[in-house]
Structure 1
Amino acid sequence: MARTRRHNPHAVSPWPFVGMAGMACAFFLYAASGLLAPWWAVVVLLLVWLVLLVVATRWWTPHPAWVPWVAVFAVLVWFAAMNAGGAWLGWTA
């Protein structure tokens, strides 16, 4: 007979840790944007990343499964900003 585990409400979810690791990876993308974007765009992007980090931190306990999606959103925002800046504002390396 197979054993079933009981649900432990005090168990620690791994998803916030995964999300924060993703936010750390996204930070390096945002910080290295100076290779392509002007300084003012890097400042704006880092402020956006900081806001997303605050959101991820605030969702740590109430919505732990949502935190990795914040990191995915951060990477998508960075990718969109870099492509839009290159296409419409002429940012070049």
Structure 2
Amino acid sequence: MSNRVRVALGWLGLVGLVPLLFLYVVSGLAVPWWAVVGFGLVWCLLLLAAVRSRRRRPLLTLAMPLLGLALWFAVLWLGDVFLHWTA
């Protein structure tokens, strides 16, 4: 993989975290406040991991938004099924 492609993939992964933050914050309409705080902490950890892996492993950086999205779906589904969260 060329250096330009690696750099572009790394930045694309970081940019992909921005709409994920918006999704996490807006989910406060359906989840309790403590879950939104947890989402914020998870987003910070994802951002830290993405920044650290941007140069060496750009595909891992690209996977961070997808991992965060899968986690968001899982938490909302589990909260709906087991904790009866409703909007």
- Tell me the TM-score normalized by structure 2: 0.89
Please say which structure displays the higher CA radius of gyration: 1
8 Å Cα contact 2:17-2:65 kept in structure 1: yes
The unaligned stretches of length 5 or more in structure 1 are 1-6
Greater helix percent: which structure?
Answer: 2
Q: Are 2:75 and 1:89 aligned? A: no
Structure 1 outlier segments of 4+, above 4 Å: none
Two-structure CA RMSD over aligned residues (Å):
1.6
How far apart, CA to CA, are the structure 2 residues paired with 1:13 and 1:45? 27
Question: Which of 3, 8, 12 is the equivalent residue of 1:18?
Answer: 12
Is residue 77 of structure 1 aligned with residue 68 of structure 2? no
Q: Which residue of 1 aligns with 2:55?
A: 61
Cα distance between partner residues in 1 of 2:51 and 2:35: 24
Structure 2 distance, partners of 1:56, 1:22, is 10
Q: Report sequence identity in percent.
A: 35
The number of aligned residues is 86
Listed as ranges, the gaps of 5+ residues in structure 2 are: none
Report the alpha carbon displacement of residue 8 of structure 1 after superposing the two structures with TM: 6.1
